[in-house]
Chain A
């Protein structure tokens, strides 16, 4: 991206000045290097989002931003229903509530090291993953509705987890305003036995070791110390969620025409929040959000079963579960006034600071844990939300490293089998369901996650707490 297009407002905050049809300016949180590396398309997409009705303060991009669908991936925008605000498929994505969940194991690397391969092989056999995989739970029609309206809470009440798991899930694993009648029959049909499946693409299940602690006080609150072993699960709402996205494209394309909303990129189709189409879309999104929470909760149960077989002394507890493809109703301060806004985070993570009152009691003092995934060869990070991030970024941060290289190029550059050998030589044991899929996800195809995290930390949107190095990984 051309730096001349931007004004440096303060370190790590670049402003795209308001021009033309933009209702608000754009803002990119990143270091100079990361901005220079960003595709010009990110600039265009941030600008296009800034033209949507009812947008508040800024159209934002996080340091991992890359070219997406309508919104950039790593894009954040908040809309006020009182001000004609909209909801947009582009701002949520097709994999609704794709997200990450980190589990603490109560074990140290010394406990796991010699059993790692056995553990990964066991989990590989227990956790369904890859294209066409089916889970062990077959839901009836009314049970699907229960999952859509109650999310993790329903699966926990049926034995797939604990109350503590729910307390440590964003929105306690259940968002309200989820009416299953907003979800198409086709989406419901596609659910068939997919709850508790990982999927494919960039989704994974990883065994990690805490190798660095940056903030000992917060790490202690989170129950993390050097050498601790954690498990991180990255997946979303499966075919049901994808179908919700697909159905909504058509619904919102029609709504955009009906309400005469100027659309600068087809993928930005949207509807006023306060319209039948907007309400239907938001309700369907809430159903898919709940489904994704339930999906990660059932996988958590399977992880517990796997550890029981290989390392029975493990005590698997939730650190946190957070989505990064969402639209949420949240209170934010606009010009000294509290407003209820619809915050879209497309490839971006909520990061509530300590001043929020609805955090789990054990995190209330320090702020919400933020999980940022790396790749199978590079570290992940746990950060903590800040009050500054609340003020300037609607409490949002990045979601990962962000791609540097297209999947097409990655497939030409790497071979899955070779990659597995290379990672094994570095002490990382990888099992995948597809060699081609692995090549697309090669660590070299992503930006350096460390520079993305440093930009977030330096910008003050969240603070680094610990770093997790990958030790074993299951890819779909």
Chain B
């Protein structure tokens, strides 16, 4: 498996949690944002990337697409009762995203679930360039 570039972090929100993905491209920032979100839910390094799920979504702009990407991932993980640990965005235009997520069936004993994420929200939403890198951030409702 190739190494994932970019990084993720969190920022403070009084009620919930802010997630932040960074990368050399916006696609990387989106993938890292997804890692940030799933790291709130499970022990990420305990989730094997055994099964691949394709994600496709539309939005009115790239900020909306970021929220939509995260929410689609939440829905897919929930419906399939899976945890995801690896993400890739292959195509990202102003209104359209195609990406992939890898993971496996949720194993409560092994993945040590933390907190359910209810939804990615428009609060503190930002997608764009900041200091030579691309960032995507928003608040998730826990």
What is A's interface to B at a CB cutoff of 8 Å?
A: 39, 41, 66-70, 73, 93-95, 130-132, 134, 186, 189-190, 192, 199-201, 239, 242-243, 245-246, 249-250, 253-254, 257, 265-267, 269, 403, 406-409, 433-434, 436-437, 440, 476
Contact = CB atoms under 8 A, between A and B. Distances in A.
18 contacts: A39-B14, A67-B14, A69-B122, A70-B122, A131-B115, A186-B79, A189-B75, A200-B116, A246-B119, A249-B67, A249-B121, A250-B68, A266-B63, A406-B13, A408-B10, A434-B115, A437-B114, A476-B116
Interface of B: 10-17, 41-42, 59-60, 63-64, 67-68, 71, 74-75, 78-79, 81, 106, 108, 112-116, 118-123, 125, 139, 141-142
A267 B123 contact: yes
B125 A434 contact: no
Given A131-B115, A201-B116, A254-B60, A190 B78 contact: yes
Contacts of B60: 253-254, 257
A131 B118 contact: no
Given A131-B116, A253-B60, A95 B123 contact: no
A209 B79 CA distance: 39
Contact of B75 (A68, A132, A190, A269): A190
B79 A192 contact: yes
A243 B15 contact: no
A263 to B, nearest CB: 10
B141 A69 contact: yes
Nearest to B10: A408
Contact of B14 (A66, A95, A190, A254): A66
A239 B74 CA distance: 9
B45 to A, nearest CB: 15
Given A190-B75, A266-B122, A408-B17, 4 more contacts: A39-B14, A131-B115, A246-B74, A406-B13
B115 A67 contact: no
Given A67-B14, A190-B75, A407-B142, A436 B114 contact: yes
Nearest to A68: B15
A68 B15 CA distance: 7
Given A190-B79, A407-B17, A437 B12 contact: no
A409 B13 CA distance: 10
B108 A94 contact: no
Given A246-B119, A408-B10, A436-B114, A67 B15 contact: yes
B115 A94 contact: no
A393 B125 CA distance: 31
B81 to A, nearest CB: 6
B80 to A, nearest CB: 10
B121 A408 contact: no
A239 B15 contact: no
Given A69-B123, A192-B79, A239-B78, A250 B64 contact: yes
A94 B116 contact: no
Given A131-B116, A437-B115, A67 B13 contact: yes
A416 to B, nearest CB: 10
Contacts of A39: 14
Contacts of B114: 131, 434, 436-437
Given A130-B113, A409-B12, A433-B113, A253 B41 contact: no
A296 to B, nearest CB: 17
Contacts of B13: 67, 406
B73 to A, nearest CB: 11
Contact of A70 (B10, B63, B123): B123
Contacts of A408: 10-12, 17
A70 B16 CA distance: 14
A242 B119 contact: yes
Contacts of A440: 115, 142
A269 B122 contact: yes
A32 B125 CA distance: 32
B119 A132 contact: no
A136 to B, nearest CB: 16
B79 A94 contact: no
Nearest to B64: A253
B122 A249 contact: yes
A422 B42 CA distance: 26
Contacts of A265: 123
A93 B141 contact: yes
A189 B125 CA distance: 27
B75 A186 contact: yes
